[in-house]
Amino acid sequence: MTTPAKPLAGLKVLELGTLIAGPFAARILAEFGAEVIKIESPDGGDPLRTWRKRYEGTSLWWYLQARNKKSVTVNLKHPDGVEVVRRLATEADIVVENFRPGVLEKLGLGWETLSALNPGLVMLRLSGFGQTGPMAQQPGFGAIGESMGGLRYVTGFPDRPPVKTGISIGDSIAALWGALGAMMALRHREVNGGQGQVVGVALYEAVFAMMESLVPEFDVVGFVRERTGNIMPGITPSNTHTTKDGRHITIGANGDAIFRRLMEAMGRDDLAADPTLADNAGRDARRDELYAAIDTWVAEQDEAEALDTLATAEVPASRIYSVADMFTDPQFLARDMLQTVKLPDGRDCRMPGVVPKLSTTPGGTEWIGPALGQHTDAVLEALGYTPAQIEALHQAGAI
């Protein structure tokens, strides 16, 4: 049976970025079939190659973040190197970049230059604060975006300083918005005359856009959402509880019928039948009482017993998964969310499966993050450079 082409097959993406936000956006496109050419400095390449846990000198994160991409080394301080990028951009559908605003312009690779060469080009620009405004030129990472965008302020417990999530969530959120925006711009190009455009994503704005009802609640009633620990403010019950064997489970029973089923499973028919608890507003008004009752019930059981009871009652609940839990979980395995790839020395390595799941043209891993400059010569040959010209570029230090 012939494997169907991935949905972005034929799309050409030029990645000018390092670390997380820009490369993650390009990774999403690569997972679904786009040809992503990642430009890296010949002097070490993307710093992510050495971040976090390494195997045989290379970051395991790199192998994931750069899967399905082609690595081309270019010296952007050399005019012939800049010319290589210009020529690649003339054939690209999308350029992804996450330099500080103004850097590409100084290199002669800004939007005005590249769009003049390729009017259909879509340029995805990710930065800390966007391309305009008084903070545009300031450096900004995901942690800053999370802080300025409001996420850190509401994360943690009220009697302690704000905390961060355990991943670079601000960068990842920006990458998702960026990939979505690039697809929107391509759709516009397809149906409205073939013109490209700039898709701008500021890290703080990407986080800010996820902040639910934060803005209208403040504007209309002056409510400032504060840190509330593990509960979901205004939505009850939804919390994390500790079992007799010291494990932690999350229970989400904020639906009216689900709440009744939870109370009945706990043996609290009195609360299940209480008319003042029939809707979310009534439950939230008695939040402390309800959470105390659930805490007591969960604390009397081991994790497995509590989860079994809740599953039988059709109450949404879950253990707090560690990565070790994921590796043996039937749901993860059934959904192919742990895919096995080969590292360069032949060792098996598990990586996350691709999201979202497309029924007919799914994404997938074709190869893991490449060696530095692995595709330089092949990509330049495809661009029209002769072997002699490529060798001359090597000798000149342009690639």
Among the options 171, 245, 269, 336, which is catalytic?
A: 171
- Can you tell me the distance from the alpha carbon of 276 to that of 282, in angstroms, rounded to the nearest whole number? 5
Q: For residue 190, count CB atoms less than 10 angstroms from its CB and return exposed for 0-12, middle for 13-18, buried for 19 or more.
A: exposed
Name residue, tokens 């970049």: 97
Q: Which residues of 269-308 are buried (b: 16+ CB within 10 A; e: fewer)?
A: eebbeeeebeebeebbeebeebbebbeebbeebebeebbe
Name residue, tokens 């302690």: 160
- Per the DSSP assignment, residues forming a β-bridge with 54 are 59
Tell me the three state secondary structure of residue 173.
helix
From the centroid of its chain, how far is CA 281? 33
Q: For residue 351, count CB atoms less than 10 angstroms from its CB and return exposed for 0-12, middle for 13-18, buried for 19 or more.
A: middle
Question: In the annotation, is 219 catalytic?
Answer: no
Instruction: List Cα–Cα distances, 271 to 232, 235, 264, 277, in angstroms.
Output: 20, 17, 8, 7
Tell me the three state secondary structure of residue 398.
coil
Segment 55-61 long-range contacts (CB within 8 Å, at least 24 positions apart): 55/343, 55/347, 55/349, 56/343, 56/344, 56/345, 58/344, 58/369, 60/349
Reading the block at residue 320, the tokens are: 């707090």
Q: Which residues are catalytic?
A: 171
